[in-house]
Chains A and B, each alone.
Chain A
Amino acid sequence: MTTAVTTAGPKIAPVPPEPPPAEPNYLNVSYSLWSWLTTVDHKRIGLLYLISISVFFVAGGVAAGVVRLNLLSPDGAFVNEDTYNRAFTGHGVLMLFFFLIPAVPGVLGNFLIPMMIGAKDLAFPKLNLASWYVFMVGAGFGVWALLAGGIDTGWTLYPPYSSRSSTSNVIPGVFGVFISGFSSIMTGLNIMVTVHKMRAPGMTWGRLPLFVWSLYATSLIQLLGTPVVAITTVLLMVERVAGIGIFDPMIGGDPVLFQHLFWFYSHPAVYIMILPGMGVISEVLTCFSRKNIFGYHAVAWSSMGIAVVGFLLWAHHMFVAGISFYSALLFSFLSMLVAVPSAIKVFNWTGTLYRGSITFQAPMLFGLGFVVLFVIGGLTGLFLATLGTDIHLHDTYFVVAHFHFVMVGGMVLGYMAGIHFWWPKMFGVMYSDWWSRVAAAIIIVGFFLTFVPQFVLGYHGMPRRYPNYPAEFQVYNVMSTAGASILGLGYLLPAFYLPLSLVFGKKAGANPWSATGLEWVSPSPPPLFNFDEANMPVVVCGPYEYALGVDQLGRGLPPGPGLGEANDPASKSEAPAAPGPMKKETEVVG
């Protein structure tokens, strides 16, 4: 295999020499636990988040396992109804508040934003550390609620059930959500200020990587949405503790007002979850198709479009809650409107792939999986935004399948793509190419098998959150549970090969994927302050100049992933890394 294949267009700049390994790098500068717990280094804080959210992902996954196993039989396979309620609430609260929301901003955002814009750290390093501690305190309350027996209200916590009737641990659970919200605000504020004020010379807004744009849009939602759910949870806790409050129908209060306030945050919150995943995908698809992004400004501004329009359509969760016909009409229209920027992204990603020199390493497999699953999840969202069909589908498994396609098929795959893409940068090692591809394949197959039957179930009228169902639904539920088992197996694989790579993995160079961003300029793992301090980066061009074959400093790119012997990420003798003759004869034109 020659290295002279057309990984990029004409070589207009020489490939820089491999930078010497950083001594010390951010990992080996100190080893004590105390140095980790008091670190203000954004990279280490990112890893603290990585560890903690992985734990919550497993816990939320176990709760999902309880739900799915119990649904094997129409009368509930092994837990009683009350336990079932607590299991699905635990699954929702853990996955949403303690995994999905902090996942990409907390781990990848913290780690990458300063590196991508050429800064030494985030603007407020201590605030960043505080955000992790606040998150852990909030999570502590959440864990307390779970260990004390769980919550049975569903993650949406609607009063008056949550404020009056429920005898479960609503207070610690809600307080945990309230506290962890501040962590989300701190991260968002930090990222926004950093992007505004800390960009390297030459890093104009039009040269920001799209990951930064999407995190910026995410941060805007975190900043403006989270406080609303914070005050809402305060009002709910006051009402539960005092026995009287502003959602109390006994004194003229309106429980639907809670729904309005709750969804004013919690609908934009789904964009907090999906936008960072979209940012990851823009990075991964360009790199592994060796092409400039198609429509940079459209993709960048569609992130902002989603963030802004996302604030205006919360009431589509309440079409059957008795809101007026005219406001339902308006919110239906606005819900359709948010599909436009989402579609812009998908079309531009497709345009990026078109005639690209595509290779199929694990990040790319996860990325392509994201695009497919997100399209299905997004389009089924339109069914629910349509007033007439929503009456039929509201609160059925159709809704469950829809948001799992977006949240799991979209966001979790985006997160996996990001972790696999930047793993060599974070730790300086390559994981097993073969096992990571297998994991991606298993996850995508398992995902389809889990959630496609749920569309059918929902369309035939099985309501969400019910522990029992008519016998004719059993076949779909068994299929779904079987799929969930495969999905769970797929998630277990990275839990083995990623940690193993830390010990056995091949050393990764500074730029193993031949990518263009500033984060690949530094050695892997990066030094304490990200860049050579005497020689801070000066950006000369856009973020995806794959056609020219230059990185953002205007230097040439090393051979592309899977195309050059030196950068072959396949370890040892496993599977030939090159994915076959992928249009190498095609000259890529930007």
Chain B
Amino acid sequence: MSASTHSPVLKHHFGDLGQQHASERLGMWMFLATEVLFFAGLFGAYACYRLWYASEFEFASAFMNLKIASINTVLLVTSSLTMTLAIRAAKLGNKSGLYTHLLLTFALGTGFMVLKGFEYAHDFHESYLPGEGTFVHSNMQTEAVARGLDTGKVRLFLCFYYIMTGIHGIHIVIGLGCILWLVQQAYANKIPPENYSTVEVVSLYWHLVDAIWLFLMPLLYLAGAHLKVGPH
């Protein structure tokens, strides 16, 4: 299995590292296209109902925790910066910088998930849940009825809220796993400067997950931010 060995990181079936890196990058871009279409199904469905049930969706959105979501946005955008700095460190062969930036990214992503957990706990506590049995106990139900809104459609929004943030959260967790894998690879000396594209490929995925959050944020938290209802 050993043929042309210009570099220990060159895989056997590639002619040179340039071809290998180009393939890895293209593969990740194509995977991102897949991811975009995956979320597009959700965004498309959201768009339909948002148009049909505009007032219910704005109303329900006003009850979402804008404060935590804003902090989370800052965390994720910052993590994209540290991820990019990690690429630069890898390219320069600065191993301690690579560790630092990867672990910083990991910490910021973990912070996002921890805050998200607190947010879910709060939502549960307030009974902001789509199931009818629990939802009737929430102040959202009372206020929706007072405003003459269809509570079913309010609960439809909550379905979207949990499914969209849940699937996004799963993507964050996968991203965190990939970052830990990069740390392990760096530790095993598998990321010499000429192989920095491994970091770049993971960063592409991480940026996409960030970008999706930047769409979720307005759809779920800002749609009703102008309404004077809910626990602001």
Residues of A within 8 A of B33 (CB): 223-224
Contact in complex: A254, B41 (CB < 8 Å): no
On whether A125 and B13 interact (CB within 8 A), knowing A192-B30, A234-B167, A254-B48, the answer reads yes
Q: What is the CA–CA distance of A223 and B163 in the complex, to the nearest angstrom?
A: 23
Residues of A within 8 A of B39 (CB): 231
Select one of B23, B38, B53, B131 contacting A230, CB under 8 A.
B38
Contact in complex: B48, A224 (CB < 8 Å): no
Chain B 7-44 residues near chain A, CB threshold 8 A: 12-14, 19, 22-23, 26-27, 30-31, 33-35, 37-42, 44
Contact in complex: A197, B23 (CB < 8 Å): yes
Q: What is the CA–CA distance of A555 and B121 in the complex, to the nearest angstrom?
A: 71
Q: What is the CA–CA distance of A533 and B4 in the complex, to the nearest angstrom?
A: 10
Q: Does B224 contact A (CB under 8 A)?
A: no
Contact in complex: B37, A224 (CB < 8 Å): yes
Q: What is the CA–CA distance of A474 and B132 in the complex, to the nearest angstrom?
A: 50
Q: Closest Cβ of chain A: how far from B136's Cβ, in Å?
A: 13
Select one of A185, A226, A244, A264 contacting B159, CB under 8 A.
A244
On whether A257 and B167 interact (CB within 8 A), knowing A189-B31, A223-B34, A252-B150, the answer reads no
On whether A189 and B30 interact (CB within 8 A), knowing A228-B38, A245-B159, the answer reads yes
For B166, the closest partner residue in chain A by CB is A238
Residues of A within 8 A of B27 (CB): 123-124, 127, 189-190, 193
Most buried by A among B27, B33, B40, B132: B27
Contact in complex: B42, A231 (CB < 8 Å): yes
B interface footprint on A224-243 (CB within 8 Å = 1, 0 otherwise): 11111011101100100011
Contact in complex: B41, A231 (CB < 8 Å): yes
Q: Does A246 contact B (CB under 8 A)?
A: yes
Select one of B22, B30, B152 contacting A223, CB under 8 A.
B30
Select one of B23, B42, B156 contacting A123, CB under 8 A.
B23
Residues of B within 8 A of A228 (CB): 37-38, 40-41
Q: In which size bucket is the chain B interface?
A: 35 or more
B interface footprint on A176-201 (CB within 8 Å = 1, 0 otherwise): 00000000010001101110111000
Q: Closest Cβ of chain B: how far from A184's Cβ, in Å?
A: 10
Q: Does B160 contact A (CB under 8 A)?
A: yes
Residues of A within 8 A of B41 (CB): 227-228, 231-232, 235, 261, 264
Select one of A197, A238, A243 contacting B19, CB under 8 A.
A197
Q: What is the CA–CA distance of A234 and B44 in the complex, to the nearest angstrom?
A: 15
Residues of B within 8 A of A235 (CB): 41-42, 45, 163
Q: Does B49 contact A (CB under 8 A)?
A: yes
Q: What is the CA–CA distance of A190 and B34 in the complex, to the nearest angstrom?
A: 13
Q: What is the CA–CA distance of A143 and B91 in the complex, to the nearest angstrom?
A: 48
Contact in complex: A227, B38 (CB < 8 Å): yes
Contact in complex: B23, A251 (CB < 8 Å): no
Residues of B within 8 A of A225 (CB): 37
Residues of A within 8 A of B155 (CB): 244, 251
On whether A246 and B13 interact (CB within 8 A), knowing A197-B19, A252-B153, the answer reads no
Q: Does B130 contact A (CB under 8 A)?
A: yes
Contact in complex: A224, B19 (CB < 8 Å): no
For B150, the closest partner residue in chain A by CB is A252
For A230, the closest partner residue in chain B by CB is B38
Residues of B within 8 A of A224 (CB): 33-34, 37
Select one of A127, A196, A248, A264 contacting B26, CB under 8 A.
A196
A interface footprint on B43-61 (CB within 8 Å = 1, 0 otherwise): 0110011001100000000
For A226, the closest partner residue in chain B by CB is B34
Contact in complex: B42, A251 (CB < 8 Å): no
On whether A121 and B13 interact (CB within 8 A), knowing A193-B23, A261-B44, the answer reads yes
Contact in complex: B31, A246 (CB < 8 Å): no
Q: What is the CA–CA distance of A223 and B52 in the complex, to the nearest angstrom?
A: 31
Q: What is the CA–CA distance of A119 and B11 in the complex, to the nearest angstrom?
A: 13
Residues of A within 8 A of B31 (CB): 185, 189
Residues of B within 8 A of A33 (CB): none
Residues of A within 8 A of B163 (CB): 234-235, 238, 246
Contact in complex: A227, B13 (CB < 8 Å): no
Residues of B within 8 A of A185 (CB): 31, 34
Chain A 185-219 residues near chain B, CB threshold 8 A: 185, 189-190, 192-194, 196-198
Q: Closest Cβ of chain A: how far from B20's Cβ, in Å?
A: 9
Q: Does A491 contact B (CB under 8 A)?
A: no
Q: Does B188 contact A (CB under 8 A)?
A: no
Top 5 A-B residue pairs of the complex, sorted by shortest distance between their CB atoms: A251-B152, A227-B38, A231-B41, A121-B13, A120-B13
Task: Please name 28 pairs of A and B residues whose Cβ atoms are closer than 8 Å in the assembled complex, sorted by A.
Answer: A121-B13, A185-B34, A189-B34, A193-B23, A193-B30, A197-B19, A198-B23, A223-B30, A223-B33, A224-B37, A225-B37, A227-B35, A227-B37, A227-B41, A228-B40, A230-B38, A231-B39, A231-B167, A235-B163, A244-B131, A244-B159, A246-B163, A251-B152, A251-B159, A252-B52, A261-B45, A529-B12, A529-B13
Q: Which residues of B contact A (CB under 8 A)?
A: 3, 12-14, 19, 22-23, 26-27, 30-31, 33-35, 37-42, 44-45, 48-49, 52-53, 130-132, 150, 152-153, 155-156, 159-160, 163, 167
Known: A123-B23, A251-B156, A252-B53. 6 other contacts (CB 8 A): A193-B30, A194-B23, A224-B37, A225-B37, A231-B38, A244-B132
